[in-house]
Amino acid sequence: MDRPHGAILEFSANIGKWQLRGVDLVKFNEAGEMVEFEVMVRPLKALQALAEEIGNRIGPQLAQLKAAADAPH
């Protein structure tokens, strides 16, 4: 039985007053193509702060893209 190939990437960051730690779990198929990508972050408060910061940074662009996609062609 073939074993899947993968990688684990550890990272850390400061989000406001929170110290965030996490890992990316990446799985590849036999052709070397990424087939799964999972992110784990802790602690929960840091994850919540990260989600809020991402929303603040990309929220306006997402709203513009959604409006453009919903506009009649």
Q: What are the structural domain ranges in the chain?
A: 5-70
| Residue 71: per-residue pLDDT | 85
| Sign of the CA dihedral running 48, 52, 53, 55 | positive
Check: CB of residue 41 under 8 Å from CB of residue 25.
no
Q: Is the pTM of this model over 0.75?
A: no
| Residue 1: per-residue pLDDT | 46
Ranges of residues in the chain with a pLDDT under 50 are 1
| Residue 63: per-residue pLDDT | 84
Identify the CATH class of 5-70.
Answer: alpha beta
| Residue 4: per-residue pLDDT | 63
Say whether 39 sits in a helix, a strand or coil: strand
